[in-house]
Amino acid sequence: MTARTLLPVLTVGALLLAGCTTEAAEPAGLTASPTATSSPTPEPTPSPTPTDGIQVHDDPELGIVFEDVPDLTGDEADVYNWIATYQKAYWQTLRTNEVSDIFATFTSSEIQDTMARIPANNSSSNATIAGTFRTRISDIVVAGDTATGVKCDDLGEATFTNDTGTFTAEDVGKDVAQRNKLELIRVDGGIWYVNRLVGDGTC
């Protein structure tokens, strides 16, 4: 069996991220170790608080790196911070095969359903994802209580493991960074609610 044959199992999370229409999903994760035993213990992803600028979201232990961080303030910075929180929770879900609890606090039921399917599908096939996840958040536009943003997700340094072995992103055809557009709504408490995620090609 080739690595390409394993694609539907090993990269179900990534495939959902690149989906069309309203399909949703996304990150958390670290150590470059390619083994299933290297997955971090799931911990609550903290919610961002309103700030005058962008918070530091890189997490070496989890294995997520935010690249080309823009210089934003006000609402634009808050939107960036919420998208970054989404990214960390998504990667954590992929790394641990357990859905991050924080999704229930700021994402639509559609996104939550998608996130629940990722660990269920991967766990049923003993598939795990490890390594480093690189992401870039850009093109944030705020109009009143609605906002949009773009994220570019690079799984090139991730590893994919199941009962047959460990594979690189290139092995499973996931070495090209994927672009997704997010639609957000501001709700009570200063939360920017991720309402929709749409695949938008490659970066």
Q: Where are the domains of the chain?
A: 4-39+46-202
Q: Beta strand pairing status for 128-143 and 165-168?
A: unpaired
User: Can you tell me which residue has the tokens 């971090």?
Assistant: 40
pLDDT at 46: 53
Rg (CA), the chain: 16
pTM over 0.85: no
Neighbours of 198 (CB within 10 A): 17
Question: ∠ at Cα 150 (120, 65), nearest 5°?
Answer: 70
Place of tokens 């997010």: 182
| Regions of the chain where pLDDT drops below 70 | 1-51
Fold of 4-39+46-202: Nuclear Transport Factor 2; Chain: A, (3.10.450)
Which pLDDT belongs to residue 9?
35
Q: What three-state secondary structure class fits 13?
A: helix
Q: Residue 189: what pLDDT?
A: 86
